[in-house]
Amino acid sequence: MSARPAPVARIADGGAVPRHVAIIMDGNGRWAKKRFLPRVAGHKAGIDAVRRVTRAARSMGIDALTLYAFSSENWRRPEDEISDLMTLMRVFIRSDLDELVRENVRLRVIGDYRRFSSDLVVLVDEAIARTAANTGPILAVALNYGSQAELANVARRLAERAMRGDLDPATIDTGLIESQLDTYDLPPLDLLIRTSGEVRLSNFLLWQAAYAELLFTETLWPDFDGAALADAVAIFGQRQRRFGGL
């Protein structure tokens, strides 16, 4: 049977609160440029925004927050910027993991993060393991993630199963595909936000966003905070979601 979008979890004073919010965190470089700072300063400020927004999401009762931290296309950036980003990932894990454990947050990573350096892979694996038993909200971080590659991997795995005779192609439906996605254990995506004024999905959660509400804001990511997230959730709560019906 094909999977159907799950209902929104709860109703707040301003309307419905999404169960699953995803954010394309864009604008770090422009934030730094406006202040005549190096790009790494924008990325550092972006880490502060991650802390603010993840805490705000927990306080609002959002079940899952997915952040686009490093795309499969980001490898095209200059080597020194990639190195800075990897360093900031290490800093964030070491400094914030205890808080995630304490707040009962379960960390999930989507994407092929094992392409990163071995020490960073170990840090990520340890962080996932330390939060695996947590039962509270999910923080999913997209690392070396690309939605087209994700879908190609799903198609490849299903084709291999069919060739072995383990799968009847006639039984392949949307539910089976969704069970093979990186986000298989996350709630259906309700709201996708992109900061910085860009109006595109940039290869992020293309399948999952099929019936998500999209919100594009001019705010640069380092300036995004709990109030901005609350505004986005309020806008979401005012929208009517029909999922193809009337």
Structure tokens at 30: 């422009």
Q: Which residues pair with 143 in a beta bridge?
A: 70
Sequence-ordered list of residues with C-beta below 8 angstroms from that of 109, at least 6 positions apart, any chain = 124, 128, 140, 141, 142, 143
Task: Clarify whether 203 is annotated catalytic.
Answer: no
* The length of the chain, given as a count of residues: 246
207 assigned ligand-binding residue:
no
31 assigned ligand-binding residue:
yes
52 assigned ligand-binding residue:
no
CA angle 2, 205, 23 (to 5 degrees): 130
- Catalytic site residue from 13, 48, 63, 74: 74
200 assigned ligand-binding residue:
yes
194 assigned ligand-binding residue:
yes
Task: Clarify whether 125 is annotated catalytic.
Answer: no
- Catalytic site residue from 13, 26, 63, 104: 26
Sequence-ordered list of residues with C-beta below 8 angstroms from that of 212, at least 6 positions apart, any chain = 22, 189, 190, 191, 192, 205
115 assigned ligand-binding residue:
no
202 assigned ligand-binding residue:
yes
Annotated binding residues: 26-31, 39, 43, 71-73, 75, 77, 194, 200-202, 213
> Which residues are the active-site residues?
26, 74
Annotated binding residues for Mg(2+): 26, 213
Annotated binding residues for substrate: 27-31, 39, 43, 71-73, 75, 77, 194, 200-202
